[in-house]
A and B are shown apart, each in its own frame.
Chain A
């Protein structure tokens, strides 16, 4: 069954704690993305990666970090430097630069700061 998985579904973080959100895809897509969605808001791009071992900052990268060591995996770490991390985090992937290609989304991780 091809698709994008994210874990955990719900995550609770204490103040000052780093947490890592998992994103895995078996679609053989080159490009992967992380978005943040706040209540009643659209999606804001955190980081994206077009190829293994390469990634670029999006519009709101401060307080976040990523890695892309494998094609199928793009984990996101929310660091203690992110002052307001409570949000719905969405991972997406797309085939890559060839042709007009759409993004597919994982089910999301809802992060709450206690």
Chain B
């Protein structure tokens, strides 16, 4: 079993819609959770992090964490074509400095 699982997609949504990206993780001792966006040929850039159960909002982005279900999600409101990228979920495990990455979900936002 992989440490972090994501649906590879592609997830296609029309411009202006809400995109919902999901991630599950296996280590119950995981401390913190991150979403990175990666454009083709580029390195990942951090867009959101969440440490506590519940929702965290930052602009058009909302991260949701449910530690009991070992589930973290990212909602993108008013999706734009520029949001088209691969979104990587990352989890920091009990070993504080070891991060586990999912394989990413490719998002296509159609104009």
Number of residues of chain A lying within 8 A (CB) of chain B: 23
Expressed in whole angstroms, the minimum distance between the Cβ of A10 and any Cβ of chain B is 11
Expressed in whole angstroms, the minimum distance between the Cβ of B101 and any Cβ of chain A is 4
- The A35-59 residues at the B interface (CB cut-off 8 A) are 35, 40-43, 45, 48, 50
- The reply to whether A94 and B97 contact each other, CB–CB distance below 8 Å, is yes
Chain B residues near A66 (CB-CB < 8 A): none
> Total A-B pairs in contact (CB under 8 Å)?
53
Q: Which residues of A contact B (CB under 8 A)?
A: 31, 33, 35, 40-43, 45, 48, 50, 90, 94, 96-97, 100-108
Q: Which residues of B contact A (CB under 8 A)?
A: 4, 6, 8, 31-32, 34, 36, 42-46, 49, 51, 88, 90, 92, 96-99, 101-104
Among all A-B residue pairs, the 10 with the closest Cβ atoms: A42-B103, A100-B32, A43-B101, A105-B43, A97-B96, A31-B97, A108-B43, A42-B101, A100-B51, A50-B97
